[in-house]
Amino acid sequence: MKPFLPFTRPAIDEDSIAAVGAVLRSGQLASGPKVQAFEAALEDYVGGGRKLRVLTSATEGLEIALAVAGVRCGDEVIVPAMSFSASANVIARLGARPKFVDIELGSRNIDVRGLEAALTERTRAIMPVHFSGLPVDLNRLYAFATKHGLRVVEDAAHAIGSRYQDRKIGSFGDLVVFSFHPNKNMTSIEGGAIALTDPREIELIEQHRFHGIKKNADGEVDVLFPGGKSNLADVAAQVGLDQLRRLDGFNDRRRHLAGLYFEALAEFPGIVLPERGDSGHSWHMFQLLIDFAARGTTRPAFQKAMAARGIGIGVHYPCIPALSYYRAKGYDAERDYPIAARVGRETVTLPLFPAMTDEDVTRVCTELRAELG
């Protein structure tokens, strides 16, 4: 029997494992020289003269970026109705209100045509998501933000290494947040980073991630506000360094595998493929839409059946306004965000990670066809 194929798996090589051992033996376990080296390497990779500051997660990065951008209690932030729940949770945690906008069916990205209708006098920022690594239409989005004096926090959790009009995501724009969770295109075990340029905001991020502390020229400590603690450990940074050197190869492999899925599933009836995009797409995930009700089954039943065939199937993601917390706040997913609601009901994530072989894609598609008929 063939081994179980998960929907994702991090690619940690022996060199990385050995390097982590060296960090552990060094005695420097909290933020130290490896964090500094990781930030410098990210700055070189992203380019554009940007500075990057790493944190323990992209979720922390999004919340801190919004706070640095001036989002306060009572404000509103425009965000897509379909993403991971953290995209809205960080807004709510600041006491602000998520202002959801529906998505495009193919790209699963925010429909920029809906921005104007979502705008109110309380809107302070837009937080688009580069879903699955496919960049949002940033020209139109930034033109809208500039016209209305809004900050932009790009949720680029899926998009490290993606390009928009031949410029790397993060190399331009306002505040851009990456994720290095184990299921992302590269990992630092857990972790994230914020890309930006403003020196004052860089300082604020450093203070937010470590207790609101500022030191004077003599090294004496002061606390300017009640910051949190989200500084990355050197062990995590070492993993990130080793992953970053392999990232372009990872992404090339993901593009190749995605292309094989498109070839194998192009004529398969009853599914909706994602938008293909161009070579700038880094393919964090590969999702299909399946109308389970029309097939007389359910998504959990489909997942169990595929697991029995040795194939792991993920769900990325439920429609955010359909989640209990947001329903209780008065959001109505089916009425107001019909495309996001549909994607939330029908989406499934197929296996996609660099260690997969071409034959693994064939296997997934063979079992998928056999299960769906």
Spot the catalytic one: 51, 99, 168, 184: 184
Q: How far is CA 16 from CA 21, 183, 253, in A?
A: 9, 17, 20
Q: How far is CA 205 from CA 12, 64, 154, 169, 175, in A?
A: 29, 7, 16, 20, 11
Structural tokens at position 289: 């839409």
Q: What whole-number distance in Å separates Cα of residue 98 and Cα of residue 85?
A: 11
Residue pair 202/53 in contact (Cβ under 8 Å)? The answer is yes
Number of Cβ atoms within 10 Å of the Cβ of 203: 14
Is there a catalytic annotation at residue 184? yes
The full 3-state SS of the chain, as one line of letters, equals CCCCECCCCCCCCHHHHHHHHHHHHHCCCCCCHHHHHHHHHHHHHHCCCCEEEEECCHHHHHHHHHHHCCCCCCCEEEEECECCCHHHHHHHHCCCEEEEECECCCCCCECHHHHHHHCCCCEEEECCECHHHCCCCHHHHHHHHHHHCCEEEEEECCCCCCEECCEECCCCCCEEEEECCCCCCCCCCCCEEEEECCHHHHHHHHHHCECCEEECCCCCEEECCCCCECCCCHHHHHHHHHHHCCHHHHHHHHHHHHHHHHHHHCCCCCEECCCCCCCCCCCCCEEEEECCCCCCCCHHHHHHHHHHCCECCECCCCEHHHCHHHHHCCCCHHHHCHHHHHHHHHEEEECCCCCCCHHHHHHHHHHHHHHHC
Active site residues: 184
